[in-house]
């Protein structure tokens, strides 16, 4: 008797953090960079939540079109602070400015995930609320120098030293904060016939 052949799982991401989270499920998968131009989305016309969801859809669809038999997982994260979206800083001065703006305040970290399997589509969005401790400029500069969060929206790596910046985190799924909501993904993959250990 031949074993049931499951479709290939593709994570539409090059993030080492998402890869590490995905590995925790014990399901074979591969990572591919999404073939999606994020600048094609009119970000200023969408709510932060809808923007994250639109970007996750675009990433998943870009690879699903290339391999319609695969199960493709696309994700995106948006940091939302009092009406502003904080992107990847790109440089040290911008990272320091973002962290100064968030110091002592609550912000939202919106993680959107879309899973496409043929004609089936599943979506999940987690909205975490994080309150940053009050931090002086010296402490912020020291953090930026040590963690180099220049490629992270909001200028922090919570999965690294960035966790010390926070006094409170509210989330239904703590793995969503680091980029991939495993509780929802496990449920979706189970619906598609995958078994986790």
pLDDT value at 143 more than 90:
yes
**pLDDT-wise least confident of 31-45, 108-122, 154-168:** 31-45
CATH number for the domain that contains residue 170: 3.90.950.10
Task: Tell me which residues are annotated as active site.
Answer: 76
Do 89 and 149 touch, CB atoms closer than 8 A? yes
| CA–CA gap between residue 45 and residue 62 (Å, rounded) | 22
Residue 164 belongs to a domain? yes
| CA–CA gap between residue 95 and residue 150 (Å, rounded) | 7
Q: Say what the pTM is.
A: 0.91
Residues spanned by the domain of 66 = 9-191
Residue 88 belongs to a domain? yes
| CA–CA gap between residue 44 and residue 82 (Å, rounded) | 15
pLDDT value at 191 more than 70:
yes
Residue 83 belongs to a domain? yes
Total number of domains constituting the chain: 1
pLDDT, residue 37, reads 85
- For residue 166, give the H/E element and its range: strand 166-170
- The pLDDT-based confidence of 4 (bands split at 50, 70, 90) is low
Residue 2 belongs to a domain? no
Residue 196 belongs to a domain? no
Residue 161 belongs to a domain? yes
Chain length of the chain: 197
For 190, other C-beta atoms within 10 Å of its C-beta total 11
pLDDT value at 22 more than 70:
yes
Residue 197 belongs to a domain? no
Three-state secondary-structure class, residue 12: coil
Residue 82 belongs to a domain? yes
- Report the pLDDT averaged over residues 60-66: 96
């Amino acid at each position: 008797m031949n074993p049931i052949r499951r479709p290939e799982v593709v994570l539409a991401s090059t993030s080492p953090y998402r890869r590490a989270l995905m590995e925790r499920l014990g399901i074979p998968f591969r990572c591919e960079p999404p073939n999606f131009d994020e600048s094609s989305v009119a970000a200023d016309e969408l709510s932060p939540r809808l923007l994250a969801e639109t970007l996750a859809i675009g990433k998943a669809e870009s690879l699903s079109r290339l391999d319609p038999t695969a199960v493709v997982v696309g994700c995106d994260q948006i940091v939302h602070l009092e009406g502003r979206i904080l992107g990847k800083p790109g440089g040290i001065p911008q990272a320091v400015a973002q962290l100064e703006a968030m110091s002592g305040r609550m912000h939202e970290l919106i993680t959107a995930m879309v899973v496409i399997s043929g004609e089936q589509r599943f979506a999940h969005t987690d909205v975490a609320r994080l309150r940053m401790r009050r931090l002086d400029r010296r402490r912020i500069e020291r953090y930026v120098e040590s963690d180099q969060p220049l490629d992270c929206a909001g200028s922090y790596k919570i999965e690294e030293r960035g966790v010390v910046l926070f006094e409170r985190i509210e989330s239904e799924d703590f793995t969503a904060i680091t980029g991939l909501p495993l509780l929802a993904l496990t449920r979706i993959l189970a619906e598609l016939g995958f078994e986790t250990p």
